[in-house]
Amino acid sequence: MPQPKKLKVLVLAGGPDRERPVSLQSGATVTNALAQAGHDVRQRDITPDNLAALDEFTQWAGHLVFPMLHGAWGEGGGLQKILAERKLPHVGCRADAAELCMDKHRTKLVLIEHGLPTPPSELLIAGQRATFGPPVVVKPPCEGSSIDLTICRDDESLRRTRSRLRRRHARLLVERFVEGMELTVGLVGSEDGKTMDALPPIHIIPATEFYDYNAKYDRDDTQYLFDIKLPKAALAEVMRVSVEAARVLGCRHMCRVDIIVDREKRPWILEVNTIPGFTSHSLLPKAAARAGITLPKLVDRLARLALA
């Protein structure tokens, strides 16, 4: 049965997670783009304790849900389980893949199992000694947007960071720091829905020590380069491992793979984001535009993939 030309789409934004402000920005962008594409759109907030938006969606006889929530519940499987229980078509991963990709430690285990490159790491609880020393990256395993991420270049910095973060996080991922170029690869589902297509990679050059929350969303001095000074073979490998990572992790419709390319031109996968941002600073829309896909065309494609 052919899809209707005009879709009724519910955009979910906000939510209970620490990335709520970014989610509201992303939701507004997607809502406007869907309207420009000719669809009937409603944007609503949602939390685990308030699912009224989904009841409204059912009464409205909507076609699909477009989640734009960033964070552990909205992006990490909690919301997706509810959508599945209600049999509501939605953009983005199914619950199992969403939960997997939100957990950076579990993600890395799957990548290693399939022979994909990711920096060595270990998951530590309070009081547990690390088996390798600085330089390391310390981060919560289930947060996004570089929240609480710290680069530790000496033992004292590592000790202080673990002491500070254990008040908020029972577990911390300690990952070997890889010096190199930070790239990101956005992926969108092919129009037939059978594969994920890699968009042009972006080289991220922050003005700060690393690409932290402020560099991602607030500062205007971060550089995003498409003309990347890497051999064609190295760029092709970056795109290959990104597509393969999305496949083995079960991603669908869209995602973004963050990678460090070291001095030997080898790519190392850092993490996979299953609901990339759609703010004015966000990278998936930038990459789509570089590939000639306007924002209205991009969100229309994602909506129709979900409905199919």
**What is residue 166's predicted lDDT score, i.e. its pLDDT?**
80
Structurally, what CATH architecture does the domain formed by 101-117+179-293 represent?
A: 2-Layer Sandwich (3.30)
Catalytic residue among 44, 162, 252, 256: 256
pLDDT at 258 over 60: yes
Is 217 annotated in the active site?
yes
Question: Tell me, which fold does domain 8-91 have in CATH?
Answer: Rossmann fold (3.40.50)
pLDDT at 210 over 60: no
Same fold, 8-91 and 121-176: no
**What is residue 102's predicted lDDT score, i.e. its pLDDT?**
95
What tens digit of pLDDT does each residue of 259-285 get? 999 999 999 999 999 999 998 889 999
Is 240 annotated in the active site?
no
Q: What sign does the CA torsion over 15, 18, 21, 24 have?
A: negative
**What is residue 209's predicted lDDT score, i.e. its pLDDT?**
64
Is 211 annotated in the active site?
no
DSSP string, 267-286: EEEEEEESS---STT-HHHH
Is 182 annotated in the active site?
no
What per-residue string of b and e applies to 201-213 under the rule 16 or more CB within 10 Å gives b? bbbbebeeeebbb
Is 273 annotated in the active site?
yes
* Phi and psi angles of residue 13, each rounded to the nearest 5 degrees, phi first: -145, 155
Q: Binning pLDDT at 50, 70 and 90, where does residue 144 land?
A: low
Is 214 annotated in the active site?
no
Catalytic residue among 14, 144, 189, 277: 277
What tens digit of pLDDT does each residue of 182-205 get? 999 999 999 888 899 999 999 999
Q: What sign does the CA torsion over 62, 188, 267, 287 have?
A: negative
- The yes/no answer on whether domain 121-176 falls in CATH 3.40.50.850 is no
**What is residue 2's predicted lDDT score, i.e. its pLDDT?**
79
Domain ranges of the chain: 8-91, 101-117+179-293, 121-176
